[in-house]
C-alpha cells in the first residue's frame, strides 16, 4: 500500500484539509493550506489546527509501514504544544520525528512552520503502537 492511499483513509485529515507529503521510518511531514475555515475570531489559525497537525505528524513518524496491504496503528498518550507565533492563511508544514522509546511506546517531537519557514509551534509527545503494530511489518488493513 502506498503512503498516499493509507493517508487517504484518515477522515480527520480530510476534515481539516491535511495531507501527508513525506513519510518514512521515524519521520512524517503533514501539510495544510490554511484558509478562512481554519481561523479563530482573532483572524489567525486556531491553535487546535496547529495541535492537530503536530499530533498527526508526531504519531505518524512512529507508524510507517513499508509492507503493501499492511498498516501500523497507534494512539496518543500525551501531547504538549507550545505556540511560538501567529499563523496566517497559507501553507503550513508540520514535521514529526521519533526521538526514542521501545516496541510499544515511542516519543516524538516536531514543529509547525509557515510558508516562509518561520517557526509557529513545537510539540513533544508519547505515543503507543496498537496491538500487532509493534512490528515494522504491521497488520493487515
pLDDT tens-digit readout, 62-113: 999 999 999 999 999 999 999 999 999 999 999 999 999 999 999 999 999 9
Confidence of residue 10 (pLDDT cuts 50, 70, 90): confident
pLDDT tens-digit readout, 108-134: 999 999 999 999 999 999 999 999 999
Whole-model pTM: value is: 0.91
Domain encompassing residue 72: 3-140
Domain count, the chain: 1
Q: Left, alpha or beta for 17 (phi > 0: left; psi -120 to 50: alpha)?
A: left
- CATH of residue 85's domain is 3.10.129.10
The C-alpha cell that represents 131 in the structure block: 496491538
7 CB neighbour count, 10 Å cutoff:
19
Amino acid at each position: 500500500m502506498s503512503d498516499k492511499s493509507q493517508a487517504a483513509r484518515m477522515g480527520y485529515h480530510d476534515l481539516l484539509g491535511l495531507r501527508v507529503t513525506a513519510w518514512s521510518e521515524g519521520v512524517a511531514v503533514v501539510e495544510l493550506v490554511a484558509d478562512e475555515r481554519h481561523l479563530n475570531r482573532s483572524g489567525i489559525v486556531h491553535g487546535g489546527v496547529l495541535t492537530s497537525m503536530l499530533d498527526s505528524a508526531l504519531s505518524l513518524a512512529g507508524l510507517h509501514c513499508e509492507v503493501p496491504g499492511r498498516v501500523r496503528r497507534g494512539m496518543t498518550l500525551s501531547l504538549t504544544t507550545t505556540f511560538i507565533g501567529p499563523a496566517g492563511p497559507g501553507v503550513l508544514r508540520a514535521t514529526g520525528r521519533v526521538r526514542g522509546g521501545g516496541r510499544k511506546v515511542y516519543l516524538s517531537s516536531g514543529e509547525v512552520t509557515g510558508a516562509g519557514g518561520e517557526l509557529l509551534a513545537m510539540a513533544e509527545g508519547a505515543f503507543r503502537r496498537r496491538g500487532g503494530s509493534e512490528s515494522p511489518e504491521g497488520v493487515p488493513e
